[in-house]
Structures are given as C-alpha cells and as structure tokens.
A and B are shown apart, each in its own frame.
Chain A
Amino acid sequence: MAIELISVAFFFMLGWLCLRIFGPAIGYAFIASVSLPIGIAAWVVSCLMLIAVRVPFNPVAGALLAVTIAVSCNLRWGNRPERREWACHIIAIVLIVASAAVLAYFEWTVFNPDMHWTLYMSDNLIDHGFIDDAMRRTQLGADPMYLPILSTIPRWFGGTYFVSFSPLMIICTAALFAVLGIRVGKTSDNQSSPLRFWLPILGAVALVSSGFYAINALQTKTHVAYALHMLAASGALYFASRERSTAWFTVALMFIAPMVVCRLEAGVAALPFLIVALAIQHIPLKIRLLGVAAVALAWGFSYFYLIGSIIYLDGTFDRGFVSKRLLFMGMLSAALGSGLLLAAMANRLGILTVWIERLASWLPGLMIGTLVTLLTAHAVIWPETFFRSIHGIFSTFASPRMHGTGYGFLTLTLLPLSLILRPLIPSAWTVMVPTMSYLAMLILIDFHLEGFPHWGPTGAITRIISHVLPVLLFYAVLRLNAPPAGSTAVTARAAS
C-alpha cells in the first residue's frame, strides 16, 4: 500500500508542476482537482516516449523525464507559488493521499477479466524492458498502454494492481465537475446566489451516485480516466472561448492529447475536441493551428508506432481484428496535423488567412452535418442493425437492471429544462458539439467495428458510453448556471 500512496503523492505533485504555470488564469481549485490525472498522464506519456526511442523501460526514468520537462517549464514561465496556492494544494494532497489509503485498504474496485491482459503487459515491460514479440503479437494493438504502464508500479514492488486508481479518478471527476460548475456560475452577474454554488455540487453528487456511471467507473480500466479527460477538455474549451483565454486553450489540449493512450478509439472519438478547439475564434489563429497540429501529429505518430510494431506479426494478430481498423483510422490524424501545419505556414505568409479562418469556424458545423448524414444513411440502408443499436442505448438507461434509470431520468428532465427555459448561453456549443459528435460516432463505431450492436451488461460499448455521462450532465448544469448572452459581468471579465 505504501508504494501506492507514494505514487499518488508523486503524481499529484507532478500534475501540479505541469499545470501551475497556468494558475493565475485557470484557478488553483481547478489545478488541485485535476493534478492527479494530469500527473499520471504526463508520466505515462514520458515512459512511452522513452520506450519509443528504445530506452529500456524504467518507471523512475519516466518520472525523471516528466519532472525535468515540468520543472523546465516552471523555470521559464512560472512564478513563485503564492501562499494561497500552497494552502490549496497541501490540503488537496492530504485529502487525496488519505483517500488513497482508505481505498487501497478496502480495494473497492471491479477486477475486470481484461485486467489479466493489462497485468501481462505490465509484467512484460518489467521483465524485458521493452515491448517484446509476445506482447506485439497479442496485445499491443488491442489494449491501450495507459493502464499497463500505470500498473507497472505495483507490479514492480510486488503488488497486484493499482487498487485505488479507479475510485480516486471518480473523486477527482466529482471535484472537477463541482469546480467547473461553480466557475461557470461565478462568471455570471449574480455571484452571491447560493443556488449557483449548490447546483454543481449536487450535480457532482448525482453523477457519482448514479449506479451506471459508478459501476462502470469502478472497473479497473481506463473508462473513468477517459471520462475525466473528456470533462476537463470540455470545460477548458468552454472557458477558453468564454474568457478568451489562451491558457485555458492550452490546458484543454493537455487533456485532449493523452486521451489516445487511454483508449485506442480516441484517435477517432476524441477528434471532435480538436475540431472544436480549431473553431474557437477568440483564440489567435496561429495558436489554434499550431496547438491542434501538435496534438494531431503526436496522435498520428503513436498510431504509426503501434501499426509499425504489430504489422509484421499480422498473421498471428488474432485478438485485434476490432482494433486494427481503429489504428488505421487513427493514423489519419497525422494527415490532419500535416494539413494544419501547412495552414499555419500559409497563415504566417499571409496567404489564404481569411479562408483558413472561415474554414476553421465552419468545421464543427461540417462535422455535425457529416455525422447526421452518415447516421441517416445508415438508418436507411441498414435499418434493422441501426435501430437495434439505438434501442441498445435507450435500454441501458431505461432498464433498472443496468442502474442507469436515475441518470437517464435526470438527463431527460434537466436537459429540456435548461434548453427550453434558459436563454442562449454563449460558448456552450464548445461542450455540446463534442458530446453530440461522440454519441453519433459511438453508434457508427459500434456499427462498423463490431458488425452488430454490442450493448448489454458486458458490452464494451456500454462501458464506453459512461465516458460521456459527466460531460452531458455538465452541459445541463452549464446551461442552468451560466449567465445569458450579454451579461455585463461576463463581458467585463472577457474584456479583461
């Protein structure tokens, strides 16, 4: 247990180091709520970078690289921590390590059968120091590397798996939900209303008490981490647009980029976040193009690396028939990144700037239009499979057997309440577009990769839909809590 607590404390500190240069703009409460997941992501990505350049795997080497990068950024751009920052983070780290101790003791997680593969990959990395042929042959193209790398810590020191990981992520998600919701309310003209404070808090409680979300999130898999990254990215994109903040924009990209090591389908499923990031006109075009291009190219590289690692063993690659198509589709992000780099160069030379700006602002609409067209085409050409898939989604949230009824009822009442009775909320599209696109893509991915609807208690798609639940509820809270267009307080804050 001790090594787990030390790891949690280290990841928290690392996450704090990674985000604190944005502190004045994004707030210490936000940083404290997401330091743990961003620290884990930074460490995992560092370890993967070392593996990719053939440095034998070692958790300490990955940690050193991540800390070196974070400290260098702080030395270059960071300020001395204020007393309030220290206080906020010391309280947060004490709380999170204490929670980890309790959770590790009670071991309150679901040991999913897929975890065998994850632990196998961890062991392989520890034993060989690199991705060996057996792992390439069986697992590399089928399972993402986030959890295997994280599990190397307990495995290295003789433990079984990272017991407190999933519950800690749920706690961080609830804290993040509350922090984002309260910030949404604070930007309004009615800062003193206690309703604006309690609404997001109760929303967070309703979310984590929802059986469908909690049970799926407690599985020792990456679902809960991915859901947290989606929520953080959505919130950050919203504030980037609303507050015209480059800091929030960068933070959003920091949460979007590691999604690809959490889930293999992220190269496709998380693409709407990049599209939305490109379309936020309040951020300078150059920053948008370069930032999104960097993420897309990193994604593309990771998919190229995966494909390159498994392709020559294709004959025995028997578990990955689902994922192989995803890997090839993920490689398209490299094309997107290259295109954006070209656009950035053209923009720098003053060529086509107006058209690039216009195209970027059209992209979300184009994406939604394309998805609607594709869904309609599927409904017309393969009506039976399509409507069985739709039925699968609704059944998940209608059947008490799946514990989704409470969440389904809540969303079905809150969303119309917020959509019909509340006026238009500026920038709310930055949350709604990725959410709707994710749901649409989920149906299409389910349709094409499985060949049949893969819903039900043990279906992967059933677990995957839990990713979007926090964002969907956050959208409802955002609509209820945020000030309407033209609010004086918001305009003043944005102008400042």
Chain B
Amino acid sequence: MPMRQLDKRNDPTAQLAGSSNRAKIIQSMAIVLLIAATASNIHDLVHPPKDAAISLPQAAYRSGYIAYVEQTEIKEYDFYIYEALRRHFTGARLIGFDAKNTAFGDRSYGGFSSEFVISYDPTITDDEARELRRHEVASRPSNGAIAAVVIAVSAPLEKKTTAIVLRSKDGTRYFVSGGLAPPRYSGIVNGN
C-alpha cells in the first residue's frame, strides 16, 4: 500500500475530513429524499386518490360547523338543538318534538342530567307564538336553518325543570320552559 494512503489512514485530521465528506454525501442524499417525499405528499394532497379513505378538509369560511351539523344524521342534529337549549334549561327535562327525536332519551347521550323524552309534535297558534315572542331573546346558535326562540332567563320559570319544544305553522321552533308553555300543554309539562 502506498505510504501516502497509510499516512492518511493514521492521520486523525484526515479521518475527520473523510468522515465529514461522507456525512455530507449522506445528508445530500437525505435532502433529495426529503424533497421527493414532500413533492409526493403535496401531489397526493392536491390530487387525492378517488377512493381516499381520509381527506384534507376544505376551508370553511366560518360555516363549517353549522354546515357539518346540518348535514349530519339525527343524533348530531339533536346536538344542534341541545346547543340552543343548553344555557337556558340546564338540568331541564326535555320533551321531544317529533317521532325521530329520541336520541335525547338515549342514556349514553350527554344531553341533560335528567332528560325525559316522549314523542310529540306540538304546534302553537299565532296568538300563542306572539305571547311567547314577548319573552324571547336572541339565541346564539339560532342562525342557519333552525330559527330558535329561547326564553330569557329572567322570565318567570315556575316549572324550570321541564323544557318543551314547540313549533309554529311556519316551522319556527320555540324552546320554552314548562312554566311558559301555553296552558293546553300543561299535560305534557306535567309528564304525561
């Protein structure tokens, strides 16, 4: 073996330089791999396969939550109503407004601590609606498809433990306390 090579093998500085060069070569290879992987990743995200199991969400412009709730099935739909009710009727007993609306009665669903659901579809007259509107306050999640009217907490709530969902002819829903429900619903309010 030539003397120069032997010298280089025994010289720590040369070894370090060689090691450094090898490290640079490996790092360069890694950088090429990273760039290739990034390009592939971006391509996959921009052009996902047709049968993609998961996909990147689209920007929603602040409507994603409402759109999500509106598109989902009955259980999430109930959640929307729960959203409207929760602040005003905490701990209330909810009486459902249509036959499908039974998810509140599912004990695994965390609606109210003492909810009780019966299938019922009460409607109210224009006069009753007008009376209820005297007590209404803006409901935070009431925008979107559901026009919700909730009763101000300061309103008289003699039977606070029962909430009832009513519906007018134009489809507006009224979430009212048992105490403010029109008298002919007293049977429902009392748990019949």
Chain A interfacial positions (CB closer than 8 Å to B): 105-111, 113, 116-117, 119-121, 123-124, 127-128, 132-135, 138-139, 158, 160-161, 189-190, 193, 195-196, 198-199, 202-203, 205-206, 209-212, 214-216, 218, 316, 318-319, 399-403, 405-407, 409-410, 413-414, 417-418, 421-423, 456-457, 476-477, 480-481, 484
Contact = CB atoms under 8 A, between A and B. Distances in A.
A418 B60 CA distance: 41
Contact of B53 (A110, A161, A401): A401
A117 B41 contact: no
Contacts of B34: 199, 202-203, 205-206, 410, 414
B192 interface: no
Interface of B is mostly: helix
Contact of A196 (B27, B53, B76): B27
Given A116-B76, A195-B28, A406 B44 contact: yes
Contacts of A218: 56-57
Which range holds the interface residue count of chain B?
35 or more
B64 interface: yes
20 contacts: A106-B60, A107-B63, A132-B113, A134-B113, A189-B16, A190-B23, A196-B27, A205-B38, A209-B41, A211-B44, A211-B56, A318-B108, A400-B44, A406-B37, A406-B41, A410-B37, A414-B30, A476-B30, A477-B30, A481-B27
A210 B65 contact: no
Contact of B59 (A108, A193, A210): A108
Contacts of B20: 189-190
Contacts of A414: 30, 33-34
Nearest to A193: B24
A405 B160 CA distance: 56
A425 B84 CA distance: 58
B29 interface: yes
B26 A422 contact: yes
A214 B45 CA distance: 10
Interface of B: 16, 19-20, 22-24, 26-31, 33-35, 37-38, 40-42, 44-45, 48-49, 51-57, 59-65, 68, 72, 76, 79, 82-83, 86-87, 90, 107-110, 112-113, 140-141
Contacts of A133: 113
Contacts of B23: 190, 422, 480
A345 B95 CA distance: 61
B33 A107 contact: no
Given A132-B113, A195-B28, A108 B57 contact: yes
A135 B44 contact: no
A123 B86 contact: yes
B53 A402 contact: yes
Contacts of B38: 202, 205-206, 209
B60 A107 contact: yes
A402 B113 CA distance: 39
Contacts of A399: 53
Given A139-B110, A401-B49, A401-B52, 11 more contacts: A107-B63, A113-B72, A116-B79, A124-B110, A134-B113, A206-B41, A403-B41, A403-B48, A410-B37, A413-B33, A456-B53
Contacts of B62: 105, 107
A198 B60 CA distance: 34
A161 B40 CA distance: 33
A185 to B, nearest CB: 9
A56 to B, nearest CB: 14
A215 B109 CA distance: 27
Nearest to B25: A421
